[in-house]
């Protein structure tokens, strides 16, 4: 009974205050031992001090301190360190270097004299720095920067402040800050609030300036908004002396490595445009996304909308397409499997060929909607396993609704009635199905015969005239080829073997009409198919190299050299009743390609066998040297469509801190430059800022230049650009193939 009574609490008039319960972390830290290593150590028994001297290393939990001399007060859990002091706190990702530190090793609070604090890419330097919490500091007469420089070097940029409160990974407030560039004061403010995060962060970007002949001097200021880990935005305000203010918005997001999107929008009231065309308001909207629900089920969108047809010429950086006939907006839903693919899409066009830039042609034809299906040729019956000859079957199907805002047809003769053969249809429905079969088999030991046959059925539903139109075409395409090869054991350290292949091939193509109604409508290339009766030959030499990587010993295969010739023979032309038109042989095309040790080149030549002259020459080459420089050169000359151009450029990247690129496009036919572009980027070793310069001189838009300075927070931060690059790399891996086996 006495034991039971002792277990009950005893109440009094004044209850004693309860001691706060300590966290598990605090309880564990109280039990942590304090370890030290030193050349000499002394103990002051009266004051309960431990004095350590000579290469002192002191450890408490994950905190490590090294110094020339350390005095430890065990009662107060406090230490004072001098002489080349280094303090590391891995749990806070913080490293301190100082002349003297007064520090409580349990609370992790203290005072740093003439020291530097590093956390991520952030660096604090001051005469006095107080550590007032986890990753929290205040300093006096000090600087903040992200530049990695030595103590005796001038910092490219830094913020000096009389007093500042800093939270690493958060934000900082500074009193009377001065922004220094190269040690020179540039900007002063009585107060400043700025981020000190090691990842993407919201804030104003440094201004960019430039100029052009058509817009005048330009000054742009931008605000970057880090909306989350997977999306961000940039708003901008740009002033153009000839046109006025232009507002901009860029929004980017990424759902996974394969799914991302980007929206750009710009708006201005253009003083120059209103003088030329009477309109002031101008805008453009672009949007792109690729959303993959699974690797095989995807949705893609491309949106291009402009207030006028001149916008793409005046502001080429906002939207591409200055040489196109129109802007295309497309939405696509796709599904792919091993042998099938399905696409449902809609395409809307905005014409750029209008006399009035604010108007669009109502006769432009849109594809709303369009459905396509393809079944790849495959041996679905498994005859290859049964009889040794595969029976390949495949088909394609498409449906399109052609639609124009201008009505059912274009009334060419303005009589209000559709006249077949004179007026052009603007609206129609079309279906097209094209099944095909193939049975490739060997002929003897050396030849392979690939007979292939298909039938294309096309049907149009029309709202005017004859409401139904039909076309049926056969498609017969047998081909015979062979493959002669020999392997040479080269035995080099890099190149081990070379495989030489000689691949001749002869193809016959016959595609006659079986059914063809009169005056079928023409909307695209599918409607323009005509009777084909040709034979062609091809002769190809290839040298495939087997190489071994010196570092990884991996085996690689690549086409080192390729020489090919081909020519068509038109049987219909040979049977023509007009003797003067009987020139059935087409141009002989020769192709020479090479890829050797960073050098790639391709040359194509078309030769007219009747006039005995070259009708087209095209040469292209690129060289990547061992110092990361790139050189490009392309030359094209056409006789039938007179043109004679040469273009090329180079990228010099052999200096880590300076990147220079240029590109030139010259019209030899008219003896003038079409385009000159020069780009330079200065990226110093401190890796905390970059200078970008861009100069352009184009034939159609004149001269333009831009310059901008970027203040960088390290080189390995999370960014949408990095994530998008990873997504693109994954897409490339999905499409990559394998080399030939030797």
Return all residues near 243 (Cβ < 8 A) that are at least 6 apart. 215, 216, 268, 270, 271, 272, 273
Give the C-alpha separation, 735 to 358, whole Å. 42
Higher pLDDT, 628 or 455: 455
Residue with the two structure tokens 């079944």: 375
SS3 assignment, position 86: strand
What pLDDT does 723 receive?
33
Q: Which of 30-44, 109-123, 364-378, 479-493 has the lowest mean pLDDT?
A: 30-44
Specify whether the CB–CB gap between 464 and 418 falls below 8 A.
yes
Q: What is the mean pLDDT of residues 66-85?
A: 91
What pLDDT does 720 receive?
34
701: nearest Cα among 324, 220, 317: 317
Element (H, E) at 112: strand 109-119
Give the C-alpha separation, 515 to 522, whole Å. 17
CA 440, 443, 448 angle in degrees (round to 5)?
Answer: 45
Specify whether the CB–CB gap between 284 and 266 falls below 8 A.
yes
Residue with the two structure tokens 């000096």: 160
**What is the rounded average pLDDT for all residues in the chain?**
85
Query: Is 0.75 surpassed by the pTM of this model?
Result: no
Cα separations in angstroms, 298 against 27, 332, 345, 372: 53, 8, 12, 15
Burial class (CB in 10 A: 0-12, 13-18, 19+), 505: middle
Higher pLDDT, 386 or 645: 645
Q: 74: which DSSP letter?
A: T
pLDDT at 725 over 90: no
Specify whether the CB–CB gap between 252 and 233 falls below 8 A.
yes
Specify whether the CB–CB gap between 367 and 331 falls below 8 A.
no
Q: How confident is the model at residue 153 (pLDDT cuts 50, 70, 90)?
A: confident
Q: How confident is the model at residue 385 (pLDDT cuts 50, 70, 90)?
A: confident
Q: Which of 402-406, 538-542, 559-563, 714-718 has the lowest mean pLDDT?
A: 714-718
CA atoms within 13 A on the CB side of 179: 10
Residue with the two structure tokens 């291009």: 304
Give the C-alpha separation, 440 to 477, whole Å. 12
Length of the chain: 742
pLDDT at 444 over 90: no
Residue with the two structure tokens 């200096």: 655
What pLDDT does 7 receive?
31
Element (H, E) at 386: helix 383-387
Q: What is the mean pLDDT of residues 326-348?
A: 95
Q: How confident is the model at residue 562 (pLDDT cuts 50, 70, 90)?
A: very high
Q: Which of 344-353, 360-369, 479-488, 703-712 has the lowest mean pLDDT?
A: 703-712
Q: Tell me the sheet residues that pair with 484.
A: 502
For 658-686, how does the pLDDT look when each residue is reduced to its tens digit (9 = 90+)?
A: 899 999 999 998 999 999 999 998 877 77
CA 150, 156, 158 angle in degrees (round to 5)?
Answer: 95
What pLDDT does 330 receive?
96
Q: What is the mean pLDDT of residues 441-454?
A: 90
pLDDT at 637 over 70: yes
For 18-70, how does the pLDDT look when each residue is reduced to its tens digit (9 = 90+)?
A: 444 444 344 445 556 788 899 988 888 777 888 999 999 999 888 999 999 99
């Amino acid at each position: 009974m006495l034991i039971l009574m002792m277990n009950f609490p005893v109440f009094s008039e004044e209850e004693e205050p309860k001691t706060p319960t300590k966290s598990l972390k605090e309880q564990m830290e109280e039990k942590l031992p304090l370890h030290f290593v030193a050349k000499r150590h002394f103990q002051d028994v009266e004051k309960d001090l431990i004095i350590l001297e000579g290469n002192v290393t002191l450890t408490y939990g994950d905190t490590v301190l090294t110094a020339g001399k350390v005095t430890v007060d065990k009662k107060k859990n406090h230490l004072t360190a001098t002489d080349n002091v280094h303090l590391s706190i891995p749990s806070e990702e913080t490293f301190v270097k100082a002349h003297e530190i007064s520090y409580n090793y349990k609370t992790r609070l203290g005072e740093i004299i003439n020291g530097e604090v590093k956390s991520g890419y952030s660096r604090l330097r001051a005469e006095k720095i107080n550590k007032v919490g986890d990753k929290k500091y205040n300093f006096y007469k000090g600087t903040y920067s992200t530049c990695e420089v030595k103590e005796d070097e001038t910092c490219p940029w830094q913020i000096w402040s009389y007093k500042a409160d800093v939270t690493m990974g958060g934000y900082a407030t500074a009193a009377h800050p001065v922004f220094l560039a190269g040690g020179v004061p540039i900007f002063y403010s009585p107060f400043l609030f700025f981020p000190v995060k090691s990842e993407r962060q919201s804030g104003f970007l440094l201004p960019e300036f430039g100029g052009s002949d058509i817009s005048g001097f330009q000054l742009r200021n931008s605000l970057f908004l880090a909306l989350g880990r997977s999306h961000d935005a940039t708003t901008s305000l740009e002033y153009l002396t000839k046109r006025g203010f232009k507002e901009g918005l860029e929004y980017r997001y990424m759902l996974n490595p394969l799914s991302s999107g980007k929206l750009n929008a710009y708006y201005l009231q253009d003083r120059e445009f209103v003088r030329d065309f009477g309109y002031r308001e101008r805008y453009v909207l672009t949007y792109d996304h690729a959303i993959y629900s699974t690797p095989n089920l995807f949705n893609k969108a491309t949106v291009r909308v402009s207030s006028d047809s001149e916008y793409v010429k005046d502001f080429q950086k906002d939207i591409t397409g200055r040489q196109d006939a129109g802007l295309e907006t497309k939405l696509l839903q796709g599904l792919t499997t091993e042998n099938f693919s399905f696409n449902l899409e809609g395409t809307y066009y905005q014409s750029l060929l209008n006399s009035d830039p604010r108007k669009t042609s109502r006769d432009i034809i849109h594809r709303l909607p369009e459905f396509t299906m393809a079944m790849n040729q495959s041996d679905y019956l498994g005859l290859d396993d049964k009889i040794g000859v595969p029976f390949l079957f495949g088909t394609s199907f498409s449906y399109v609704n052609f639609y124009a805002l201008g009505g059912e047809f274009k009334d060419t003769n303005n009589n209000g009635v559709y006249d077949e053969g004179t007026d052009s249809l603007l609206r129609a429905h079309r279906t097209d199905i094209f099944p095909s079969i193939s049975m490739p088999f060997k002929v003897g030991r050396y030849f392979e015969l690939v007979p292939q046959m298909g039938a294309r059925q096309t049907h149009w539903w029309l709202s005017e005239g004859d409401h139904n139109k039909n076309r049926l075409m056969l498609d017969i395409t047998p081909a015979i080829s062979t493959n002669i090869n020999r392997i040479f054991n080269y035995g080099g350290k890099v190149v081990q073997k070379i495989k030489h292949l000689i691949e001749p091939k002869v193809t016959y193509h016959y595609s006659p009409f079986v059914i063809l109604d009169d005056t079928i409508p023409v909307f695209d290339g599918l409607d323009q198919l005509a009777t084909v009766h040709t034979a062609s030959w091809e002769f190809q030499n290839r040298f495939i190299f087997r190489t071994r990587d010196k570092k990884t010993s991996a085996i690689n295969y690549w086409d080192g050299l390729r020489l090919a010739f081909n020519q068509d023979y038109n049987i219909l032309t040979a049977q023509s009743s007009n003797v003067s038109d009987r020139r059935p042989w087409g141009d002989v095309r020769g192709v020479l390609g090479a890829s050797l040790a960073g050098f790639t080149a391709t040359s194509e030549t078309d030769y007219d066998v009747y006039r005995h002259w070259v009708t087209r020459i095209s040469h292209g080459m690129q060289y990547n040297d061992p110092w990361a420089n790139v050189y490009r050169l392309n030359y094209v000359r056409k006789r039938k469509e007179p043109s004679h151009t040469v273009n090329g450029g180079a990228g010099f990247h052999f200096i880590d801190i300076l990147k220079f690129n240029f590109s030139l496009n010259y019209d030899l036919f008219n003896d003038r430059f079409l385009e000159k572009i020069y780009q330079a980027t200065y990226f110093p070793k401190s890796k905390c800022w970059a200078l970008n310069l861009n100069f352009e001189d184009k034939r159609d838009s004149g001269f333009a230049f831009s310059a901008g300075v970027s203040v960088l927070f390290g080189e390995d931060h999370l960014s949408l650009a990095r994530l998008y690059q990873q997504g693109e790399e994954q897409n490339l891996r999905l499409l990559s193939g394998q080399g030939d086996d030797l």
